[in-house]
Structure 1
Amino acid sequence: MTSPYAQSGFGVGFDWGLSGAQVVAGDIVAVVDVLSFTTAVTVAADRGIDVYPYRWRDESAVAYAEQYGATLAVGRSEAGPGDVSLSPVTIRRAEGVRRLVLPSPNGSTIAQQLSGTGATVIAVSLRNRLAAADWVRKQVPAARGGGDGRRPKVVAIAAGERWPDGSLRPAVEDLWGAGGFLSALLSDALSPEARAAVAAYEATKDKLPEYLHECAGGRELTQYGFAADVAVAAEVDESDVVPVLVDGKLFRST
């Protein structure tokens, strides 16, 4: 019996976090983590840097980076001059980096966990939502119409953040990013959940830079001294890259 949570029968779906991604299992999955991982990935792709998603920044991450001859990102608050972290500002000014292991508990973890499922995984932010939607329409024209009754063709997954107890904290910036991408698909086959995400984006799109700074995630980053990262995330539609996950690596698709 098909799960009632799978959004089957629709060409385009939407859900939250890793559990949502596993239940609403699309052929193409757009991971959206606006104030962290996917904005950082698009900035890296702009510069020709390949990104290897990883869950934890621990000894296993050190070994993983060594395996691929990659730079391991340090913690955002630990970055010194010349270090690279989850902060897109540090990636933008990095010198000599061609491969980057980028751990994060949300967007990066979701991308890594989906890498062996057979789905095509892409990194989407507000910066590249139009480019990503255009790429998806070329890959899956059926996304414009209905699903096959089995599962959605395209799914946007808002990564969200974490409360101190480890539970999912829905992050409105990821809802906007997912909705902006879904809106640009120009599909008439959105699930009710996907339509809600699009509605959230449409209601805020004219003031997104302002709202990104004022939402909880934006205020948190600003409080810790990373207002410049919020400004990078607010570069709506300024990137034409589509990072695609292949063999554990997110690289700029041609």
Structure 2
Amino acid sequence: MFDQAPYECRVEWGERGAREAAKRGDIVIVVDVLSFSSTVVTALHHGAVVFPHAKDDTLGEFARRHGAHVILGRAEAATAGVPTLSPVTYGPEHAGRRYALCSLNGAVCARIGGASSALLVGSLLNASAAAGEAARLRGISGAGVTVVACGEKWSDPRQGENVLRPSLEDYLGAGAILQVLGGSRSPEAEVCAGAFRQSKSRIAELVWDCGSGRELREKGYAEDVRHCARLDRYATVPRLHEERFVESAELA
């Protein structure tokens, strides 16, 4: 069976990677740079309360149970003037407000990874802080750390094809965390950290012009791409606790 043992720090992809890491009891860091992770980090930095959920038929009931507003798609939110999956729509005025946030990739991986010893959210925006918090938790529990690059999904897979589309921005986001994270790295994690080291001086340029970045820009969300490509802008580290994200340091 595929395994990155006996290394302390690992990297995995997508939902299956999150599930395997949770089964091992690892500390899991979910990375979905464009845009779930960046949105959660930004929203919590401004004091919003975020509940992750898959986009399915149970979302409405889930939101009602938590007294949370279901966020709208980017285009709908632009006309309604409310926050959405776009991280730049969150500010100090949203402090204390409760939102059910869904996405096809990051939110699903977060829900799956929630069965782990600790589920953190990482991005370029908080890479060093996320690595530091994972190291602190590892020091307490002795658990390994798996950084899960969520990737994207193909919109039109043929029958039997894998829907996962690995994404450059999530790989570099995972590498930014692994580069700072102490401990032995699996070969996969070492190469991921090396990709970030090699690209660090061009991170903003690469995220801007990668496939996912161009896709968002062409839809009119260039500011999202600029924001999500900023390195170590926040010290906020979201951690899943009782179905919502809280600042991990508050659970210390």
Can you give the 5+ residue segments of structure 1 that lack an aligned partner in the other structure? none
Counterpart-to-counterpart distance in 2, 1:100 and 1:47: 13
Query: RMSD in angstroms over aligned alpha carbons?
Result: 1.9
Counterpart-to-counterpart distance in 2, 1:104 and 1:94: 23
- Classify the secondary structure of the residue corresponding to 2:58: helix
Hey, what does 1:36 align to over in structure 2? 35
Counterpart-to-counterpart distance in 2, 1:244 and 1:96: 17
Give the C-alpha shift of residue 23 in structure 1.
2.4
1:160 aligns with 2:151: yes
Counterparts in 2 of 1:19 and 1:226: CA distance versus 1, 3 Å: same
Hey, what does 2:241 align to over in structure 1? 246
Give the C-alpha shift of residue 94 in structure 1.
5.5
Hey, what does 2:160 align to over in structure 1? none
- Classify the secondary structure of the residue corresponding to 1:140: helix
Counterparts in 2 of 1:96 and 1:240: CA distance versus 1, 3 Å: closer
Of residues 170, 176, 183, the one that matches 2:179 is 183
Of residues 207, 230, 233, the one that matches 2:228 is 233
Query: Once the two structures are superposed, what CA deviation does each residue of 1:158-205 show, in whole Å capped at 9, x if it has no partner?
Result: 000011135000000000000000111133x10111111101111111
Normalising by structure 2, report the TM-score: 0.90
Normalising by structure 1, report the TM-score: 0.89
Can you give the 5+ residue segments of structure 2 that lack an aligned partner in the other structure? 158-162
Counterparts in 2 of 1:77 and 1:93: CA distance versus 1, 3 Å: farther
Is residue 48–residue 252 contact of structure 1 (8 Å, CA) maintained in 2? no
* Structure with a larger share of its residues in helix: 2
Of residues 3, 9, 19, the one that matches 1:22 is 19
Q: Aligned residues: percent identity? A: 36
Hey, what does 1:133 align to over in structure 2? 131
Counterparts in 2 of 1:93 and 1:226: CA distance versus 1, 3 Å: farther
Counterpart-to-counterpart distance in 2, 1:231 and 1:26: 35
The residue correspondences of 1:1-254 to structure 2 (distance < 5 A) are: 3=1, 5-24=2-21, 25-56=24-55, 58-79=56-77, 80-92=79-91, 95=94, 98-115=97-114, 117-141=115-139, 153-165=144-156, 167-187=163-183, 189-254=184-249
